[in-house]
Structure 1
């Protein structure tokens, strides 16, 4: 789903009131009323980006393709950082390449807004269990290799509130996390499990690390916000020690490459993951179908992988 930002004013009291009505109509799936009210808002406040985004999304639901694209593009012009996430909508409408749909600014805004309710919503409402599945897969991978399931320096990519750190508690001599969202990092800090936390995009974070320094790199449900993973694999391989492990989850795509799903997340194909492993000299230890979460009570298909340098 697109990002729902906290309320902000257009600068016009009447426009604000109509925008609230438009948002309520959209939430109730009365897209015709939502579009009409959004148009009224824009007559009063034409540069109010949230109303342009709402008009675009409502028009898209009504199959008013040209109006939808025009409104969404205007929203993006008004807010180029795209904290409203309209690039996702434009990509769905074929007006933007799929690999350009999700920006760092959008992810940061999404999770800053999500942080206060993240753990409860993810684990209770969505039955999320990605970190537990990764921790179990690491134990199985170590058992296959007849090695102790304990690690030195571990890098947690997209660490969020620290759920992955909690699943690895006691298994790592040193744990360092990176995430785009400062509010999520505040939550992770409170776990007292991390030796250091960095506000950073994960490829940039990896590029700042030393060659061959890590025993383990983990990424729990992080790649759903990334299209191509080539650079991530390359940098992960570089920072791993010999026989170091790379464990992650993705949403599943039955074809090759990646696709942007209706849930505004990327899904990756098994053949694509295997190709990246081969190109980067990583041995696939485990690559299996799992579901890390539910969507409206239905398991979301995914892959769980453990690869070794």
Structure 2
């Protein structure tokens, strides 16, 4: 959960909020719920306290029903959902909407940018960009060069580094300004755009890219069809779209996992490609990263225009 970026405006409430967070982190959910309730008695419009109250209640079996009320209160105060209340409602089975909002992703990665690469690569053994490059060379040969490349959800520029030598003019797209600031420091991008990749894709000229890549981006999107269709529109004939996704055991559909990420069925991926008029050039199982000591199952996918 992104850390609150503002005070409640009440010093005593802020102290109790900090105590509530500490209690929750220490495994005492009932104490955390009590303290968060005390915060809200003083400052009923403080969204982070409603979210923490919901998380604490959700951890206590007898309070789970009341948890949804707290998450809805947080969402009412924060309609763009930068705090991620909708994600918690989805975990409770209380909403069918897209659980992960762009505002939540922006807040999450703005707070994560400085330690993103160290945590992802060193801590989780993340290898998505390397797998994508290997797949591209497998399909087009080691001497391939893609003149115009779109890096969707570019983050700090890990994908750009992996594509060095085979990417010409590189455009990065990301929701998080702080992640884009890190990407800018690499000096590898000709252009960086801040925004929802679905919106940015709509503004790109048709047939303007030879390659689009999206490494571990679709774990934050329930419906990938619109993005795949948007990429198909901007690819030149013969262009490629390479990406990774998290997998679940079923063939179809999308599952929101306990890790707060979406996993997509392999048949759903094929259907999205077919609907966009793209052919499957490569689709194979891959472990993109590790979590809790185990490989996270996923798919490495390359689609062709």
Give 1:134 deviation, angstroms: 0.6
The aligned residue for residue 124 of structure 1 is 122
User: What does the per-residue CA deviation read over 1:96-146, in whole Å, with 9 as the maximum and x for residues that have no partner?
Assistant: 11x421111111111111111111111111111111111111111214xxx
Give me the whole-angstrom Cα distance separating, in 2, the residues matched to 1:65 and 1:107: 25
Verify: 1:82 aligned to 2:76, yes or no. no
Count of equivalent residues: 303
Q: Secondary structure at the match of 1:83?
A: coil
Residue aligned with 2:131, SS: helix
State the 1:65 CA deviation. 2.5
Deviations, residues 55-104 of structure 1 (Å, cap 9, x unaligned): 1011111122221011111111111121111110011112211x421111
CA distance in 2, matches of 1:270, 1:7: 39
- Tell me the secondary structure at the aligned position of residue 292 of structure 1: strand
Q: Which residue of 2 aligns with 1:9?
A: 7
Contact 1:141–1:306, Cα closer than 8 Å, also in 2:
no
Question: Contact conserved, 1:154 with 1:216, CA < 8 A, in 2?
Answer: yes
Partner of 2:296 in structure 1?
300
Residue number in structure 2 paired with 1:43: 41
**Is 1:262 aligned to residue 258 of structure 2?**
yes
**Does the aligned pair in 2 maintain the 1:257–1:272 contact within 8 Å?**
yes
Question: Displacement, 1:4?
Answer: 3.1
CA RMSD of aligned residues (A): 1.3
**How far apart in 2 are the matches of 1:294 and 1:38?**
34
Residues 97-176 of structure 1: matches in 2 within 5 Å? 97=96, 99-143=97-141, 148-176=143-171
Alignment check: 8 A CA contact 1:254 1:270 kept: no
- Given that residues 41 and 51 in structure 1 are in contact (C-alpha distance below 8 angstroms), is that contact kept between their aligned partners in structure 2? yes
Aligned to 1:291: 287
Partner of 1:246: 241
Give the TM-score, by structure 2 length: 0.96
- Alpha-carbon distance, 1:14 to partner: 1.7
| TM-score (normalised: structure 1) | 0.95
Describe the superposition over 1:276-295 as per-residue Cα deviations: whole angstroms up to 9, x where unpaired: 12222212121111111111
| CA contact 2:215–2:243 (8 Å) conserved in 1 | yes
Which residues of structure 2 form unaligned runs of 5+? none
- 1:198 aligns to 2:161 (yes or no): no
2:226 pairs with 1:227: no
Deviation at 1:53, TM superposition (A): 0.5
Answer whether contact 2:2 2:107 (CA < 8 A) is retained. no
Moved over 4 A (4+): none
Aligned mates of 1:4, 1:201 — CA distance in 2: 18
